[in-house]
Structure 1
Amino acid sequence: MKKSILAIAAIVTLAFTSCSDDNGSSDKSTFELKVDDLKGNINDGTITLDPSQTYTLTGGLVVKSGATLTIPAGTTIKSDPTVGVDPNTLYIAVERGATININGTAANPVIMTSGQASPEQSDWGGLIICGDGKVNTGDNGTSEVGGLLYGGNNNADSSGKINYLIIKYTGSNFSSSKEYNGVSFFGVGSGTQVSNIYTFESGDDGIEFFGGAVNASNLIIINSYDDSLDFADGYVGSINNIYISGVTKAGIEGSNNEQNGAITPMTDAKLSNVSIVKGSDAKFGATEQAINFKDGGGKQLYTNLFVSGIETFAKVDAGTAAAARIAAGDFKVNGKNFVSASNLTTDYVSAETGAGSGATLPTWAAWINN
C-alpha cells in the first residue's frame, strides 16, 4: 500500500511540473501562452510553440533576459487581422541575454506573416534580436523600435539560432527615421546561428545588422522598400550566399558610424556569392545604386558579386573617412579596389555567378517555393 501511495504521489508531482496544453508548452515559465492572443513578456523559463497551431500576434511579444522562446519547424505566426490595429504594436523581440530558437527546415520553415485579408508591406513590425556584441555607437544602446538595450563587449555572445524562417509584410514605421525591418540584429554575437532567412515585402530594410559579429548564410531578400541588406555601427562578420531582388534604394547599404565615419571598432564586413537584381517593376528604382558606401563605409569586401539592371555601381559618401577607406583599398569588389572615378557596374562585375545563378533564384533558395 505504501508503494502505491508513493507511486501516485510521483505521478501527481510529474503532472504539475510538466504542464502543457494545446497552445504549446512551458518549462517552468510563468508566461501564459495563448494561440489567439500571442503577446506579452516571457520573463522566465522556456516557451515552446506548437507547430500544429497558427498563432495570432496581438501585441509585442518580448523574450526577456534569461528566458527562451523555441519555435519548432512548421509553426506559423500571423499578425492581428483586426482592421485599424496599429502595426507598430505588433512585433517579436529578444532582449540581450535572452534566447530564441527558430528551428525551421527546408520542408517545414517557420512562417511569420501578416494576418490581413489582403496583406501588404508594413502590416506589422518584424523580428528584433538584441545581443551583447560590440557596437561603435557605445554600450547599452537602445533599439530604434522596441526600446531594448543592446551592445557590450562579447562578440562571441549567443542569442540562439534562426534556421529556415519566412518573414513577410513587415517594416511598419513610426516616422521617417524610426522603423522596423524584416529582421533586425542589434549587437548580436557570433555564437548565434543564422541561416536560410527569406524576407518578402518589407516596408523598410529586409535585414539589418547594427554592430555585433554574427555571421549569416543563405539570405533571400525580395522587395524591400528602403535598402535590401544593411549593416552599420561596427558590424564585423561574414555573410555568404545572398540573393536580392526588388531594390528600392540600395541593394546593400554598408556604413561605419553616422556621427563619426572613422570611429572604431570599424565595420569590417565580408560578403560572398551575392546577386543584386534591380527588378522589373518601375517602383524598384535602385536610387542609391547596388552598394551605398555610407557614413565612412568602414571595410567592405565583396567576392563573387553579380549585379543586374543597375548601371552605376555605388553611391559613395563624400566625407574624408570614406575617402580614406577607399584610398587604403578597404572597399574591394571582385578582386578590384573601388575607385571613385570608375563607378560603372561593368567595371566591377563581369562573369560572376553571384548567389549561384546570376539573376535567377539559386538552387539553394528553392525551399521558399516548397
Structure 2
Amino acid sequence: MNRQHILTLAALVALAGCSSSTDGTHHSSGELVFEGDVTGSCPEFTDREVVEVSGDIDADTTWGCDTIPLLTGHVYLVEKAKLTVEDGTWVFGEKGSALIVSKGARLITKGEEMSPVVFTSSLATEERAPGDWGGVVLLGDAPINVPGGKNQIEGLAVTDPRGAYGGSDEASNCGSLEYTRIEYAGDQFSIDNELNGLTVGACGTGTKLSHIQIHMGLDDGIEFFGGTANVDHLLVTGPNDDGLDWDEGWKGTASFVVVQLHAGSGDNGIEADNLEDDNDASPRSQPTIRNITLIGSNEASSAQRGILFRRGTWGIVENAILMGFGAEAVDVRDEATVMGTQGADPKLAVKHSYFFEIGGADGENWFATEPTDGSDDDDDDGFVESDFFSDASLGNTFGTDPKLAAPYNMKAPDFSPKSTLTPGGAETAGDFNGATYVGAIDPDGDDWTTGWTKF
C-alpha cells in the first residue's frame, strides 16, 4: 500500500513560527494520511494544497485532486449551489465536521473505478475509528410521510433551516455520487439522533447513487428518510448499527448491495420502518431490494439479525443471500407491518433467497420463537415468521451453502460465489436490474467490490 503524509495547514503555520487562526479542532499529529496509488493526472499527495473548508458554500465550486479539502465543522452546500468533486480527490473531515447538501443544492462526485473520491477521517491511519467525523448528508424535496410533509434531518440542530427536507417533487435531484468511499463517519447529536455515513433525506429519482462504499461508520451505513431515490452497487462494511436503514416513506430501489457486519458491532443487515408515530402513515415505506448479500459476523452468540421489518414498512427483498447472523434471519414486528404479508400478492416479503448459518450453534434456527398469544411479548400480532417465509410460494432455500469465497473475512473479504446460485421458484416480474442470479455479485462477471474499495 502506497502511504503518503502531508502536514496540515495548522502544522505548517506552527512550523513557520506563526500563530494559527484555527479554532483548535485539528488533530494533534498535524498530518493527513493518504493511502493508495495516485492515478491519472492527479499529482502526488505531498504536492497537493490543503484547503480548509468551513461554513456555507453558496456558489458552484469544484474540488480537484490537486487540492486536499479539509472539512472543519458543519459545511453546508446552500442556495442551489453545485459542488463537484473530481476523481482521485481525497476529502478529510475533522472531529465534528460533516458535509450537508441542503435542499436545492447538489453534490456531484466523479469517482472512477481506479480513481475513487474518498471522504475520510483526518486522523492518522492507526488512530481512525467510527465517528471521527460526521459524514455526508443529502437533502431534497421528494415526499416524506411525517405530518405536514416536511422535517428536520436527525443529527443536526432542529432549528437550522439548512437541515430541512421533504416536499412534493418525486424527481428531486440531490446530485450524483459515483465510485465514492465514505469512511469512519457518524456523529451522535443526542440519543437516537445521529448522523450516518450517508444520510439521504427526501431525495428523488433525479438523484444518482452508484458504486458507494460506507466503511466503519458509527451508526448506520446508509439511511433513507422518505423520498424515491435509488441506489445500486452499494457496499457497507463494519457499521456500528445497521447496514441499510429506511423510514418515513422511502419508495426507491436498491440493487446489487453487500452489507458485512463485523464481530462485536452491528445490529441488523437491514432495519426497515415506516413511521414510528403512525405506522400506517402515507406514503408508506415500500422499496424493492434486489440482489443483496447480507453477511453477519458468524458468531453464534451474537444478537445480529439479517432483516428487521417494523413500524408499518412494506417492501420486497428478492434474490438475496443471508448468512452468519446469530439471532435470526428475519423479524417482523407490529400489526401494520404484518398486514403487508397478507393476500395472494404480499406487499412485504423475502423471495427467491438463500439462508445459511443463521441462529445459534447449529446455524439452522432461521427464525426466533416468539409468543403468539397477544401478550405484551407478542410484538407482531401473532405472526409466525417461519410459516410465512418458508412457504413454497416464496421460493426461498434454507440450509444450502451459497459457497461465497470469503464472506466473513473483515480485512480481505470476497463476497463472490464459487458457482451460480439461481433463484428458487418462479421468476419474479418487474425485473428492474436484469440479474438472474442470487446475491450481489455476478458469478460470471467482474467483482464490482474490488479495485476502488477499502477493508
TM class by smaller structure: 0.7 to 0.9
- Opposite residue 295 of structure 1, the aligned amino acid is R
* Residues 302/68 of structure 1: CA separation in 2 closer, same or farther (3 Å cut): same
Aligned to 1:264: 282
- CA drift of 1:369 comes to 4.5
Aligned to 1:71: 85
Q: Give me the TM-score of the superposition, normalised by structure 1.
A: 0.81
| Distance (Å, rounded) in 2 between the aligned partners of 1:362 and 1:244 | 18
1:120 to 119, 122, 129: 129
Q: Deviations over 1:115-134 (max 9, x none)?
A: 11210011110000000000
Q: Deviations over 1:33-83 (max 9, x none)?
A: x9342111012x211012122221111110003111111111101123xxx
Aligned to 1:368: 452
| Distance (Å, rounded) in 1 between the aligned partners of 2:227 and 2:309 | 19
> Does the Cα contact within 8 Å between 2:304 and 2:325 map onto a contact in 1?
no
| Distance (Å, rounded) in 2 between the aligned partners of 1:260 and 1:349 | 34
- Opposite residue 253 of structure 1, the aligned amino acid is E
2:331 to 290, 304, 315: 315
1:340 to 384, 401, 408: 384
Matched, 1:131 2:140: yes
**Aligned pair count?**
322
* Residues 77/276 of structure 1: CA separation in 2 closer, same or farther (3 Å cut): same
SS in 1 for 2:168: coil
> Does the Cα contact within 8 Å between 1:189 and 1:212 map onto a contact in 2?
yes
> Does the Cα contact within 8 Å between 1:313 and 1:344 map onto a contact in 2?
no
**Superposition pairs for residues 26-105 of structure 1, below 5 Å?**
35-43=50-58, 45-80=59-94, 87=95, 89-105=96-112
| Distance (Å, rounded) in 2 between the aligned partners of 1:346 and 1:36 | 56
| Distance (Å, rounded) in 1 between the aligned partners of 2:304 and 2:261 | 13
> Does the Cα contact within 8 Å between 1:171 and 1:203 map onto a contact in 2?
yes
Q: Deviations over 1:126-145 (max 9, x none)?
A: 00000000000142210112
Matched, 1:110 2:128: no
* Residues 326/198 of structure 1: CA separation in 2 closer, same or farther (3 Å cut): same
- CA drift of 1:244 comes to 0.8
> Does the Cα contact within 8 Å between 1:250 and 1:289 map onto a contact in 2?
yes
Aligned to 1:331: 348
- Opposite residue 92 of structure 2, the aligned amino acid is K
Aligned to 1:216: 231
Q: Give me the TM-score of the superposition, normalised by structure 2.
A: 0.66
Question: Which structure has greater strand proportion?
Answer: 1
| Distance (Å, rounded) in 1 between the aligned partners of 2:103 and 2:323 | 38
> Does the Cα contact within 8 Å between 2:186 and 2:219 map onto a contact in 1?
yes
- CA drift of 1:345 comes to 8.3
Q: More deviation in 139-148 or 164-173? A: 139-148
SS in 1 for 2:268: coil
Aligned to 1:199: 214
- CA drift of 1:323 comes to 2.0
* Residues 91/308 of structure 1: CA separation in 2 closer, same or farther (3 Å cut): same
- CA drift of 1:227 comes to 0.7
- CA drift of 1:368 comes to 2.9
| Distance (Å, rounded) in 1 between the aligned partners of 2:451 and 2:228 | 27
| Distance (Å, rounded) in 2 between the aligned partners of 1:274 and 1:226 | 18
| Distance (Å, rounded) in 2 between the aligned partners of 1:346 and 1:136 | 32
Matched, 1:140 2:150: yes
Q: Deviations over 1:17-41 (max 9, x none)?
A: xxxxxxxxxxxxxxxxx93421110
* Residues 66/316 of structure 1: CA separation in 2 closer, same or farther (3 Å cut): same
> Does the Cα contact within 8 Å between 2:296 and 2:304 map onto a contact in 1?
no
* Residues 332/356 of structure 1: CA separation in 2 closer, same or farther (3 Å cut): same
- Opposite residue 124 of structure 1, the aligned amino acid is W
> Does the Cα contact within 8 Å between 1:131 and 1:159 map onto a contact in 2?
yes
> Does the Cα contact within 8 Å between 2:296 and 2:305 map onto a contact in 1?
no
| Distance (Å, rounded) in 2 between the aligned partners of 1:303 and 1:56 | 41
SS in 1 for 2:452: helix
SS in 1 for 2:178: strand
- CA drift of 1:303 comes to 1.4
Aligned to 2:379: none
| Distance (Å, rounded) in 2 between the aligned partners of 1:75 and 1:146 | 26
| Distance (Å, rounded) in 2 between the aligned partners of 1:145 and 1:159 | 19
* Residues 160/323 of structure 1: CA separation in 2 closer, same or farther (3 Å cut): same
Q: Deviations over 1:147-166 (max 9, x none)?
A: 40100000111111111111
2:311 to 272, 295, 308: 295
Matched, 1:250 2:268: yes
- CA drift of 1:176 comes to 2.2
- Taking only aligned residues, the RMSD between alpha carbons, in angstroms, comes to 2.5
Matched, 1:273 2:291: yes
| Distance (Å, rounded) in 1 between the aligned partners of 2:190 and 2:76 | 22
Q: Which segments of 5 or more consecutive residues in structure 1 lack a partner in the other structure?
A: 1-33, 81-86
- CA drift of 1:290 comes to 0.5
Q: Which segments of 5 or more consecutive residues in structure 2 lack a partner in the other structure?
A: 1-48, 158-162, 354-366, 368-382, 403-420, 422-437
Aligned to 2:39: none
- CA drift of 1:310 comes to 2.1
